[in-house]
Structure 1
Amino acid sequence: MLLLAVSIIASLSIGSAGISFTDVWGILLHQLPWLRDQPVSWSEGEIAIVTQVRLSRVLLAVLVGACLALAGSGFQGVLRNPLADPYTLGVASGSSVGAAALILFGYQAAVGIWTIPIVAFITGMTTLLVVFWLARSSAGLQLETLILSGVIIQAFLGAFVSFMVSLSNSVVNQILFWLMGSLTMKSWANVYMLIPFLIIGVIVLIAYAQHLNVFLLGEGQAAHLGIRVERTKLVVLACSTLLTAAAVSVAGVIGFVGLVVPHVIRLIVGPDYRLLIPLSAFGGGIFVLWADTLARMALSPKEIPLGVVTALIGAPFFAYLLHRRKRLEGGA
């Protein structure tokens, strides 16, 4: 929590507008009810940049990161596999198909700001069910087959999204920019939209944390100990899919958050999901916040897509973790 607070303070203080640290926090403190009547020396543009653009973007980065990391911890807990996350199982690609189709045909605001999250959840959940159907056999649900099915579906849906991009003319840049992931041009409305999804996700996953701990013993042992295995899997996976759909609908495709963050938290605090789930939310927020800060400042005033930054950071780091784990197991 302290690291998240420091990250928020640092990110709010950094920007391409050239507003000093003291001015940024003077503007923010001036928003307090008992200080609003004090005379100010800042322009309306500076106040708008800090309160309407920078503050909303920082909070949105934290919320998106928390949603993706929570979703990753949920998938890894149910499937008992640290390589499982919304992207390896194709859920994010399924959500992307729904969102890209809405953008292509111009229906992204059919029922207001909730249009893309609703459709993204439906297509993401449908994708998850298809992956489970492909992976299921007479011997049950094998984890290796499940991951392979997710990779196949992800490749197919990725090609389908590329096909829709080739069909688009006036919205091609909008779809491509969304597929690369970005928090540019987002507002407080997106922040308010994500908050209920995150609250529901945290409550549900923490309620099932002890069940996920028992899952570490295997589904057979969990059933013998009184856990309703199928219901637990359905609830946790549906909740994780909902979190993924919400994050994807707002920020686009941002990879490696749900894969790397829960894995790193697990190395620090162990496999207890009563700690892993809430700390993954904090870790995901910190990771995406700093990735977004780097995205908007590295080549300022030009901005790097957020999904590109998370991949450039996450892929080598996860490769290092895998190498470290293999070396430790070899030594053992």
Structure 2
Amino acid sequence: MASETQEARRRSEQSKGYFGFVDASLVSLCIASVGVVVLGGLVQVSFGAFSMTLVEAWQAVFNPQVVFDLDAWNAFVFGGELPEMNKRSLIVWNIRLPRVFVAVLVGMNLAISGAIFQAVTRNELASPFILGVSSGAGLMILVTLVLLAGASVTVPLLFLGEFVLTPSAFLPIIASVGGIVAFLVVYAIAWKNGTSPVRLVLAGVIVGTICQSLQTGLFFFADDLGVVQSAIAWTTGSLTGTDWEQVRMALPWTLFAVTAALFGARQLNVLLLGERTANALGMNVERVRFALSGVAVLAAAASIAVAGIVGFVGLIVPHMVRNVVGSDYKKLVVGCLFAGPALMVAADVGARLALNPVQIPVGIVTGLVGGPYFLYLMRKQEAMGEI
């Protein structure tokens, strides 16, 4: 009898270790966020140039001939050939729903990236762009669009004629490289027998300011109005025109970043205790800080690659989740995975329908929502800064 009691206690402790962080507040947040995503997604698919009623649009979303068709999912996820489907289902699944999925992935990436950066720098004012990631990406995009506009390379393909490559085809890769290089420069500037949260933030502000000044200067060299509009869309963040290609581009990196963040939640909690405490617990602070910062940069770069620079999401979402579930990063990371997509989908609905038929960049909406909310937090809390 005693052995059975001990065994039950051991299993209870194991279960608590794996799922003990789940509580009512976290579950409520996740359910509410899923509801926002579903409702926002249904609104998105219900409006467009091709007219259809709400019932027709929703029937197309839940069309069992598409939902349970493996060939269709192979085409969506891996780029195979689309099977036969009716016109409404084709428009909804191939044009409108991918925009919702991209918003979900971008929201996840930015929220996770912001949560990691706030722990690494121990500063609740940090965001995915505090270390110059967005500024570096934006600068590289503007250099490509402005200075290399009209450039092209013709690649001969055997038996297939010639294939013309333009710089715009590589903008996602260029954006990611720019963000990663900017982060490495910030880390190098902040390094002095190790780094510290304060030096990382200051170096990020310096590099970001320089990159933004160069971005502004490059606009004076742009002669083509189309180039200027494209650059503005990238630097303000936009989901217009996204399709399954962007989903396929962001999905692998998102899965990696999310997995790394979930497994790194314990290390993030330890970092919040301070460097001395973390060292006393046996943690190699510099190695962990660099690795987790790399995950955050990768997540931010994945979002920039498909949607451009969307501001305030990475700053605001961790705050919102922290106010609901607390500062435990096991709960915070999970909450960000749900709240980030909810904010992005809701903001994209506003961006698409606010001035219908004109669509504004989603980054403008997140700025209009995030700015007042951040001011509210500043007024509500007596002190903001170090976590």
TM category, shorter:
0.7 to 0.9
- 1:243 alignment partner in structure 2: 299
- 1:147 alignment partner in structure 2: 201
User: Displacement, 1:264?
Assistant: 1.2
Per-residue CA deviation, residues 262-301 of structure 1 (Å, 9 max, x unaligned), is 1111111111111111211211110011000001011111
Per-residue CA deviation, residues 228-247 of structure 1 (Å, 9 max, x unaligned), is 21111111111111111111
Distance 1:115 1:223, change over 3 A: farther
Equivalent-residue separation in structure 1 for 2:123 and 2:165 (angstroms): 38
Distance 1:327 1:253, change over 3 A: closer
Per-residue CA deviation, residues 157-200 of structure 1 (Å, 9 max, x unaligned), is 11212223322233222111221211001111101111111100
Q: Which runs of 5+ in 2 are unaligned?
A: 1-29, 70-84, 153-163
1:122 matches 2:155: no
- 2:20 alignment partner in structure 1: none
3-state DSSP class of the match of 2:240? coil
Determine if contact 2:121/2:196 at 8 Å carries over to the other structure: no
- 1:39 alignment partner in structure 2: none
- 2:219 alignment partner in structure 1: 165
Query: Map of 1:111-260 to 2, 5 A cutoff?
Result: 115-137=170-192, 141-170=195-224, 171-260=227-316
Equivalent-residue separation in structure 2 for 1:192 and 1:327 (angstroms): 42
1:28 matches 2:35: no
3-state DSSP class of the match of 2:113? helix
3-state DSSP class of the match of 2:62? helix
1:102 aligned residue (137, 144, 151): 144
- 1:9 alignment partner in structure 2: 38
Q: Which runs of 5+ in 1 are unaligned?
A: 37-41
Distance 1:184 1:110, change over 3 A: same
Instruction: Say which one has the larger Rg.
Output: 2
Determine if contact 2:145/2:168 at 8 Å carries over to the other structure: no
User: Displacement, 1:94?
Assistant: 0.9
What is the identity, as a one-letter code, of the residue corresponding to 1:23? E
What is the identity, as a one-letter code, of the residue corresponding to 2:200? L
User: Displacement, 1:257?
Assistant: 0.5
What is the identity, as a one-letter code, of the residue corresponding to 1:24? A
- 1:52 alignment partner in structure 2: 94
TM-score (norm 2): 0.76
User: Displacement, 1:145?
Assistant: 4.1
User: Displacement, 1:205?
Assistant: 1.4
Per-residue CA deviation, residues 100-126 of structure 1 (Å, 9 max, x unaligned), is 333332579969999434333332222
- 1:276 alignment partner in structure 2: 332
Paired residue total: 322
Equivalent-residue separation in structure 2 for 1:146 and 1:100 (angstroms): 25
Equivalent-residue separation in structure 2 for 1:95 and 1:292 (angstroms): 22
**Identity value in percent:** 34
Equivalent-residue separation in structure 2 for 1:33 and 1:149 (angstroms): 50
- 2:78 alignment partner in structure 1: none
